[in-house]
Structure 1
Amino acid sequence: MDADELQQRLDSLAGELGCSVSLDAVDGSLLGYSSQRPGADVVRIEAILSRHVPDTVLAYQRSHGIDDATGPVAVPANAALGMEQRTCLPLWSGTRLVGHVWVLHPGADLDDDSLRSLEAAGHRLAELLGVEARVDPAELVADLFEEGSTTALLDMAAERTPAVAGRLVFLALAPVVDLRGRRAPAPTTAPTDVPHLRTELGRSTRHGRTLLVIGRPAGAGPGPGDVRHLLASVDQPCTLGWAAADARGDGDRENGEAALSTAAARAILAADCAAVDPALPATCGWDALGIYAHLLAAGPIAWDASSPVAASDRSAEMLRHTLEVYLDHAGSAARSIDALGIHRTTFYYRLDKISRMHGIDLDDGLARSGAHLALKAQRIRAARDRYAWSDRLAERACRPTSPPAPRTAHR
């Protein structure tokens, strides 16, 4: 989208109509506005300052059918919102709505000549936005499951939501695979109620899980959005992995793009690992992965560890589950019995069988660590196979992020 031509078109239209004009994206983000003219209301000023139409105003505007209309729509004043009357022209690129032009005209309706001028200008504005709309956000996000290029995504974010300035959050939703056991509680670092989901840039689904990219405007909290809302929006139990990154970083665009690619991979892997292991919290950031982060960093060669419980044992699955729960609870018999929901006699019988028949000395710390690693490696293989990880996904996630550039002291 040519920003100079866009500004010229908005100023020209405002001069022709004698009214203030603004251009919004479909989600309410402010894309541009003309020079200020008399009669600006509270809503216009707030939108310019925050680069986004207030949610209550957006809902009021949409209630007048602006997302479906193909011609100008008169939107009455609303004193409670601090909003004067205005006219909206929806902009369509083919069958796709790409934005809204707003003309603020307090106290007087637009005449027929003004409406014709508005529609004529709208055709060119729709063409300008249509060029951007041809870039399918879903395709850009889909690439993050594979190679992880963020160049086009970063350009799109800069165009659509300038206030974001490269601050992106990645949210990955994965359907739960293993429903056994109790889900671990969310860590204190997990996001719970952070706004700005309205700045979603795109989403894509691959192999049953969904990745969302959300812009985080300056001044927003550090988390990725209202997680409870996201988890409630799906019709099956899901885990949510998340990671945030700032592409501005040290000012080097290449480093910034790499940081975004790493964050996307971390969100995907966090969701995938939590989906196959209830020992992880349902809302899981990279820092909450614990032993999984180390195994992922070690690479596929570390994921091939054989199971500590031989598959030839008819009760192998039950014994593996018992052993893993026991190790997940740091060898606490009381907590393991509670988590498994079995009698203590049954529990100790299983531990004895694990020791006698499978040669695992549970009194040996190194033996316990080895068994635990092998069990988690099995989980990683299950996630890799179920979600068809690309060869580079774990490599991207474990790539070290560039340290911030050192500051020069000023005397």
Structure 2
Amino acid sequence: MKLQEIVDELARTLGRSVVVNDLDYTPIAASEQEDDVDEMRRRALLKRTTPPEAREYLEGLHIRQIRQPTNVPMAPFGGQERLAIPIRSGDQTIALLWLITGDKPVLRSVDYAAIDAACELIRVLLEQEADRDGGEARGVIDALLSSDDATARRAFREAVDRRMFAPGPGTTVLALRIDGSVSEMDRLTLGRRLATTRAPRVLSLGVHRGPLLLAARTTDVEAVAQVVSHELAAAGMAPAPIGTATLDEAESDLVGAADRAVIAARIVSRVPSVAGIADIADLGFWALIDSVAADPEAVRVYSPAAYALCTSEDPTQRETVETYLDVGGNVRVACEKLHIHRTTLYYRLDNLPDTVKDALDDGPRRSALHMSMKLFQYHRAAAGLHA
């Protein structure tokens, strides 16, 4: 029997609708929905995903870790009570079968026998599918970041069909900028270990432009980061800066998101104020800096004032001007950050080189001064130097 046939047969036997989800709460099979369907299930089936707030709620209940049928109240989301039945392979849950139980007759022992039989058939099918798809899946994964556009798009479509990840914002690409002393083989091994995690579900895309790339069927990147941190420590590796990028709705391959995640990881590794993990969507300013030619000497052309400050042996003037510009010229906040008195700030600003004072008094040159200081330090950090 096919998965859909099993689900339909169970629904007829029980006299109620049946849905089977994977561990990301994405429907993989659903019977015809009876009158018991509520708005929550309707949304999940139409959009092929469970709403984020409901996912968070279910995660809080540790539904993916249940070992026996469990009643799940869904009233907080305007839904009826459900019965979640784990479909297990060995000691691992591989899918969840859901029944709406609210306002329905109590399930009888004969019903539970039918549910057990259906779960066993579904388990066998899913295991067979996993075995059959193993080798083919690796080929699809390897082609996801192909330099050939047509190949990358074809692999993307097949990966979506195989439910490796979902198109659009439900998928996040993560780039792990692992210490350069770690071999590529060890990075790939780490990726394979991460790909075996059940929660959250992660796909290892391999090494791309230096970092190890992962695709996660979640927007909860903090949960993924925790798993990554645990696996890095277990492997004796140092914590890795992580850059993330969410897949856009219109994207038909993973290449763009992968490239954005790599840029984000590079920024996290170079900018001390960006701690540990950051999404490219929150790094617009630094992404602009990253895109400028990696030559600190170019600052001499962009802003002679910035070059003078950044190459001075005394860092006080650079720190003062940079902080002052960072806070938009707010004297009180600048003094708090620099731990100095207002009078001291004014004194420092009055005694800057003329080229710097002239730049501060002119809008475009002031902007060039600010960005060029960031640019100089950013690329000095890339070279392992300190401005």
Which band: TM-score by shorter chain?
Answer: 0.5 to 0.7
| Residue 107, structure 1, aligned to residue 106, structure 2 | yes
Alpha-carbon distance between aligned partners in 2 of 1:321 and 1:242, rounded to the nearest angstrom: 30
Q: Which of 24, 38, 43 lines up with 1:27 in the alignment?
A: 24
The change in CA–CA distance for 1:87 and 1:360 in structure 2 (over 3 A counts) is: closer
Alpha-carbon distance between aligned partners in 2 of 1:125 and 1:289, rounded to the nearest angstrom: 46
| Residue 362, structure 1, aligned to residue 357, structure 2 | yes
The answer as to whether partners of 1:200 and 1:212 remain within 8 angstroms in 2 is no
* Alignment match, 1:289: 284
Q: Which of 151, 155, 168 lines up with 1:166 in the alignment?
A: 168
The answer as to whether partners of 2:310 and 2:318 remain within 8 angstroms in 1 is no
What secondary structure, in the 3-state scheme, does the structure 2 residue paired with 1:26 have? coil
Q: What is the CA distance between 1:311 and its match in structure 2? A: 6.0
Q: What is the CA distance between 1:19 and its match in structure 2? A: 5.7
What secondary structure, in the 3-state scheme, does the structure 1 residue paired with 2:24 have? coil
TM-score by length of 1: 0.54
| Residue 317, structure 1, aligned to residue 319, structure 2 | no
The answer as to whether partners of 2:19 and 2:29 remain within 8 angstroms in 1 is yes
Q: What is the CA distance between 1:321 and its match in structure 2? A: 1.1
1:145-160 correspondence runs (5 A)? 155-157=158-160, 159-160=162-163
The change in CA–CA distance for 1:88 and 1:243 in structure 2 (over 3 A counts) is: closer
Q: What is the CA distance between 1:353 and its match in structure 2? A: 5.8
Q: Which of 52, 65, 72 lines up with 1:67 in the alignment?
A: 65
The answer as to whether partners of 2:245 and 2:257 remain within 8 angstroms in 1 is no
What is the percent sequence identity of the aligned residues? 20
Q: What is the CA distance between 1:246 and its match in structure 2? A: 2.8
**In the comparison of the two structures, how many residue pairs are matched?**
325
Alpha-carbon distance between aligned partners in 2 of 1:58 and 1:330, rounded to the nearest angstrom: 38
What secondary structure, in the 3-state scheme, does the structure 2 residue paired with 1:363 have? helix
* One-letter amino acid of the counterpart of residue 341, structure 1: H
TM-score by length of 2: 0.56
User: Which sections of structure 1, spanning at least 5 residues, go unmatched?
Assistant: 175-198, 216-223, 387-411
Alpha-carbon distance between aligned partners in 2 of 1:100 and 1:270, rounded to the nearest angstrom: 39
* One-letter amino acid of the counterpart of residue 272, structure 2: V
The change in CA–CA distance for 1:116 and 1:100 in structure 2 (over 3 A counts) is: closer
The change in CA–CA distance for 1:271 and 1:170 in structure 2 (over 3 A counts) is: farther
What secondary structure, in the 3-state scheme, does the structure 2 residue paired with 1:114 have? helix
The two structures, once aligned, show a CA RMSD in angstroms of 5.8
The change in CA–CA distance for 1:324 and 1:240 in structure 2 (over 3 A counts) is: farther
| Cα deviation 1:126-163 (Å, max 9, x = unaligned) | 315635996999xx79x99xxxx79767754554498x
Alpha-carbon distance between aligned partners in 2 of 1:374 and 1:77, rounded to the nearest angstrom: 56
Alpha-carbon distance between aligned partners in 2 of 1:58 and 1:24, rounded to the nearest angstrom: 15
Q: For CA contacts below 8 A with separation 6 or more, give which structure has more relative contact order.
A: 1
The answer as to whether partners of 1:203 and 1:212 remain within 8 angstroms in 2 is yes
* Alignment match, 2:338: 340
The answer as to whether partners of 1:25 and 1:160 remain within 8 angstroms in 2 is no
1:139-288 correspondence runs (5 A)? 155-157=158-160, 159-160=162-163, 165-168=167-170, 170=172, 202=202, 213=216, 244-246=246-248, 248=250, 253=252, 256-265=253-262, 267-268=264-265, 275-277=271-273, 286=281
Q: What is the CA distance between 1:25 and its match in structure 2? A: 1.5
The change in CA–CA distance for 1:260 and 1:6 in structure 2 (over 3 A counts) is: farther
Alpha-carbon distance between aligned partners in 2 of 1:347 and 1:362, rounded to the nearest angstrom: 14
Q: What is the CA distance between 1:75 and its match in structure 2? A: 3.8
| Cα deviation 1:335-359 (Å, max 9, x = unaligned) | 644542312443344446652xxx8
The answer as to whether partners of 2:16 and 2:100 remain within 8 angstroms in 1 is yes
Higher helix share: 2
Q: What is the CA distance between 1:266 and its match in structure 2? A: 5.5
What secondary structure, in the 3-state scheme, does the structure 1 residue paired with 2:18 have? strand
| Cα deviation 1:258-283 (Å, max 9, x = unaligned) | 4434543455466567x4358x9x98
The answer as to whether partners of 1:270 and 1:286 remain within 8 angstroms in 2 is no
The answer as to whether partners of 1:266 and 1:286 remain within 8 angstroms in 2 is no
Segments of 4+ moved more than 6 angstroms: 132-137, 171-174, 206-212, 224-227, 229-234, 239-242
Alpha-carbon distance between aligned partners in 2 of 1:97 and 1:68, rounded to the nearest angstrom: 8
Alpha-carbon distance between aligned partners in 1 of 2:331 and 2:71, rounded to the nearest angstrom: 68
Q: Which of 84, 94, 97 lines up with 1:98 in the alignment?
A: 94
